[in-house]
Chains A and B, each alone.
Chain A
Amino acid sequence: MSGPPNEETAPQPTGIVERLVRDDVDRKRFLKLAGSAGAASFGAFVLAACGSSSSSKTAATTAATTSTSASTGTGDVAIVNYALTLEYLETEFYEKVIQAGLFKGKVGSLIKDFGAQELTHVEALKGTVTKLGGTPVTKPEGKFPIENANQVAELAYTVENLGAAAYLGQAANIQNAEVLAAALAIHSVEARHAATLGTLVKKSITPDGAFAKPADMSTVLAAVKPFLA
């Protein structure tokens, strides 16, 4: 398992998060499972989803192996893959924004910095999934409305706030202490991005007040749905 992560060629079971985003039925089923029995249900869901998929026997096999393998649990793999999907989208968003050349000077530097940091999150999370014995999700294809600097900065503020809330929403579900520490290290960086963008668009640095609110998976997945091509 020490090799580099697979490229996005083979069918992979972990388009599941993406499918959850797209498919209301899958999402509801997922939520029912997740809600009923906590983290262990992630594994059950992964198996169920793969079993019903027409795409790939390999996928189902991989998922089965994963779910039975480690005490770190499929729960963590599912959570990290969920985070990876969000980081992929953030990375692509910043790439598109930078390509559009809407920001110059110091703001431009910040945007580039943030984009580069999201990419390091992608790399770290991909590797984490592999280390946990799972298969990293495929990179989703995003679509983002990119019109002008102000609109983009507002969107970035929204996206980063959502990202921070998404990590916060999973912290207590993570089983493995190392995965938790990594998630926390990323979580506060998302918060820094959000606050910085807040100052740029003259919105609140702390929109939730003194205690940041978590967002659960269903809320986050519904919110990112419009950004999937």
Chain B
Amino acid sequence: MAQTTEQPVDSLDPGLGEIEIKGMTRSSFILRGALAAGGLYGLGAVTPFVSAALTETGGGDVEILNFALTLEYLESDFYNVKGTSVGLSGTAKGYAKLFGEEEADHVNALSAVIKQMGATPVAKPTFVFPVTSQSSFLSLASVLENTGVGAYNGAAPSLKSKEVLAAAGGIVQIEARHAAAIDLLIGKSPTPNQGFDRPLTKAQVLAAAGPLIKK
């Protein structure tokens, strides 16, 4: 509890820290607009979300898996390397340790799947994280985890293999859990996209993660 950025989320009742419920995001605005328009339920209502996912150009399961692997390398290094060097305390330290282990598990699992498919896992890039404090660490963690959720949700419908899809689903759920816990800790909404997480295109993911990849 040394850091001012930490929120006391570990008590149930009034002790819960300030959790700002953010205003509507663009995507939730679209959804609500669609619902309010009347008669536009169902696929019509969610189409603004899924259209982004479906514009993903295939490239095949291996390409998608290698892209996911790059993101997992990024998250793993972020927690396990930067999380150690930046000097975390309290809940943030605990999260970085736990989440770092889980991201490393994702790296290993994705590498194994890619090999099983007869392909070569991408090499781990070198990353640079513009982080100097617990506060900036947690802010970037929020961006990375939420980007991870959108990346998997965006790419998953393009996967051909049902087995790979199931595996990706098992991973994205964990990214979503990490994202919510981090956001709660820093006083943001744990559901930034309201009821429907927004799928991201590869270009959108790269816009967020690209600057962190040195080479």
Chain A interface (Cβ < 8 Å from any Cβ of B): 2-5, 104-107, 109-110, 113-114, 116-118, 120-121, 123-132, 149-150, 153, 164, 168, 171-172, 177-182, 184-189, 191-196, 198-202, 205-206, 209-214
Count A-B contacts at CB 8 Å: 225
Of all chain A residues, which has the CB nearest B105? A210
**Residues of B in contact with A, size category:** 35 or more
State A105–B13 Cα separation when bound (angstroms): 8
Tell me, in angstroms, the Cα distance from A160 to B194 when the chains sit together.
Answer: 15
- Residue B80 lies at the interface, judged by CB distance under 8 Å to chain A: no
A178-B46, A182-B43, A211-B170 known; 6 new pairs, CB 8 Å cut-off, are A171-B156, A182-B196, A192-B197, A209-B105, A212-B171, A214-B170
Contact A127 B41 (CB under 8 A): yes
A127-B179 contact in complex given A182-B50, A196-B184, C-beta closer than 8 Å: no
Classify the interface of chain A: helix, strand, loop or mixed.
helix
A181-B199, A196-B180 known; A188-B101 Cβ under 8 A: no
Asked if B43 contacts A117 (CB within 8 A), the reply is no
B26 at the interface (CB under 8 A from A): no
A205 & B199 in contact (Cβ 8 Å cutoff): no
Q: Choose the segment among B122-130, B185-193, B202-210 that binds chain A (4+ C-beta atoms closer than 8 Å).
A: B185-193
Q: Judge whether B64 is part of the interface by a CB distance below 8 angstroms.
A: no
Instruction: State A195–B16 Cα separation when bound (angstroms).
Output: 15
Q: Does B149 contact A (CB under 8 A)?
A: yes
Give a binary string over B116-160; 1 marks a CB under 8 Å from any A CB, 0 the rest.
Answer: 000000000000000000000000000000000100110011000
B44 within 8 A of A: yes
Q: Which residues of A contact B14 (CB under 8 A)?
A: 104-105
The answer to whether B199 touches A172 (Cβ under 8 A) is no
* Contact between A199 and B196, CB atoms less than 8 A apart: no
Inside 8 A of B49's CB, which chain A residues have their CB?
181-182, 185
Please give the distance in Å from B116's CB to the nearest CB on chain A. 16
A residues in contact with B81, CB < 8 Å: none
Interchain CB contact under 8 A, B176 and A211:
no
Q: Which residue of A lies closest to B45 (CB)?
A: A124
Chain A residues near B152 (CB, 8 Å)?
184
Nearest chain B CB to A128 CB, angstrom units: 4
> With an 8 A cutoff between CB atoms, is B2 at the interface?
no
Of the candidates A4, A177, A193, A214, the one whose C-beta lies within 8 Å of that of B169 is: A214
**CB of B42 within 8 A of chain A?**
yes
Q: Say yes or no: A106 contacts B18, CB within 8 Å.
A: yes
Q: Across the interface, do B50 and A195 meet the contact criterion of CB distance under 8 Å?
A: no
The CA-CA distance from A102 to B131 in the complex, in Å, is 40
Q: A178-B54, A184-B156, A202-B10 are in contact. Are A210 and B197 (CB under 8 A)?
A: no
Smallest CB separation, A126 vs chain B (Å): 6
Contact present for B13 and A107 (CB under 8 Å): yes
Task: Name the distance in Å between B189's Cβ and chain A's nearest Cβ.
Answer: 7
Q: How distant is B92 from chain A, measured CB to nearest CB, in Å?
A: 13
Query: Within the assembled complex, what's the spacing in Å between the Cα atoms of A220 and B45?
Result: 27
- In the assembly, what is the distance between CA of A150 and CA of B195, in Å? 24
B82 proximal to A (CB < 8 A): no
Instruction: Name the residue of chain A whose CB is nearest to the CB of B194.
Output: A117
From A123, A124, A182, A212, B174 is in contact (CB under 8 Å) with A212
- Asked whether B172 lies within 8 Å of A110 as measured between CB atoms, the reply is no
Produce 1/0 per residue, B24-66, CB < 8 A to A: 0000000100010011111111110110011000000000000
Residues of A within 8 A of B106 (CB): 210
Bound Cα distance from A85 to B194, whole angstroms = 20
- The distance in angstroms between the C-alpha atoms of A164 and B174, with both chains bound, is 10
B157 and A180 contact, CB distance less than 8 A: yes
Sorted from nearest, which 5 A-B pairs have the closest CB atoms? A127-B42, A127-B41, A210-B105, A181-B50, A212-B173
